[in-house]
Amino acid sequence: ARALYEGLVVAWHERFRQIEVESDNPILIDVVSNGYTVDRLNKVADCIAKMSNGDLNVKCYFVEPPKGVRNLLKN
């Protein structure tokens, strides 16, 4: 997924607007084609991603869910 993202960024910067993508991952193709929508099942992942501040080089391990995630898990 990361390689596809990086390739799309390069293509966009090079002003390519019609791009054909092939992948054996139907979920990835769906996200690229139709956009990402946060639904009930992705709220926890979305919450943790927002906590990262966009830094992809840091690993964080939780002994228990963070406070914001605990509230989501209760629902």
For the chain, what's the residue count? 75
**Do residues 45 and 14 both lie within one domain?**
no
Say if residues 59 and 51 touch (Cβ distance below 8 Å): no
Does residue 17 carry a pLDDT above 80?
yes
Domain region containing 62: 37-75
Is residue 15 domain-shared with residue 49, that is, in the same domain? no
Number of domains in the chain: 2
**Beta-carbon neighbour count of residue 62 at 10 Å?**
8
Predicted confidence band of residue 15 (pLDDT cuts 50, 70, 90): very high
Q: What angle do CA 18, 22, 27 make, to 5 degrees?
A: 105
Summarize pLDDT for 26-69 with one digit per residue, the tens. Answer: 888 888 887 765 565 578 877 887 877 777 777 788 888 888 88
Instruction: Give me the amino acid identity at 71.
Output: N
Are 57 and 74 in the same domain?
A: yes
Average pLDDT over residues 10-28: 87
Tokens of 8: 């799309």
Whether 69 and 45 map to the same domain: the answer is: yes
Same domain, 43 and 30: no
Q: Residues 66, 42: contact at Cβ < 8 Å?
A: no
Distance CA 69, CA 32 (A): 26
